[in-house]
Chains A and B, each alone.
Chain A
Amino acid sequence: MKKRRNKLDEMQEQKMLHIESKGCWIAFIGLMIVIAAQLVYYGTDCGNQIIGETIVFLCMGCYVLAACVKNGVWDRKFEPGFKVNLCASLIAAVASGVLKFAIIYREYGADGVAVGAAAAAASVNSINTFILCFILLSVMLLVYRWRKNRLENALPDEKEEK
């Protein structure tokens, strides 16, 4: 099939990229909210109902992660390192703990399950999330550093260019 010519000039192209980027973030955050809301509302049995959203969400996340690492970029504002990974893992742990608490409380709260039990389950979930997230981020950081070094060293030597 013949490839259509781009009808946008460079400024319009930049604007289009901004619009697409914002749209992508809205979809990403929207999916996250929808998945969380369904989990809280329908409980843990709604696995089949949210499978589509979860696959799309994971695909988006994996693509962004892989593309960033491939191109040797990490974040606009934060320097990659132990502290940032720790903070990000803590945020993920707290978010997942709150979500787990809400799910259990909504599912079993009416049956007289103590708040303490829900809190305990949420804590275990938080710890698991924290460990997994921290390991994943640390591995990704190593891969990113390796990739960045490779991209930097692949450039022709400045002396040779002269």
Chain B
Amino acid sequence: MARNIPIKVARAEKDMTQKALAEAVGISRQTMNAIEQGEYNPTIKLCRSICRVLGKSLDELFWEDEEQEG
């Protein structure tokens, strides 16, 4: 799974640390880090929570082209 750069960028735009975002969403920092590193595939429920906190759409943060998905 590819690294999730859009989350990192959106987090930086909001001037949030991984820990702050994780707390806002209600997960641990290790889970947030795993999502950004592409090591964990979150549920749609968690994806929506992350989008809500960062003020982005699902497409903006989680859409991947076919090439990236492989």
A→B interface (CB under 8 Å): 9-12
Taking Cβ atoms with an 8 Å cutoff, the residues of B that contact A are 26-28, 30-31, 34, 40, 42-43, 46
Which residues in A have their C-beta under 8 angstroms from that of B40? 11
Query: How many contacts between A and B, using CB within 8 angstroms?
Result: 19
State whether A12 touches B28 (Cβ < 8 A): yes
Chain B residues with CB below 8 A from A12, complex form = 28, 30-31
A145 CB, min distance to chain B CBs, angstroms: 31
Q: Which residues in A have their C-beta under 8 angstroms from that of B46?
A: 10
Which of chain A's residues has its CB closest to B22's CB? A9
Most buried by B among A10, A11, A12: A11
A10 to B28, CA, bound (A): 9
**Complexed CA–CA distance, A145 and B38 (Å):** 38
Give the CA-CA distance A11 to B28 in the complex, in Å: 9
Chain B residues, Cβ within 8 Å of A9 = 26-28, 31
- B43 to chain A: which residues have CB within 8 Å? 10
The 7 closest A-B pairs by CB, nearest first: A9-B27, A11-B31, A11-B40, A9-B31, A9-B28, A10-B43, A11-B34
Alpha-carbon separation in the docked complex, A96 to B40 (Å): 42
Cβ contacts under 8 Å, A11 to chain B: 27-28, 30-31, 34, 40, 42
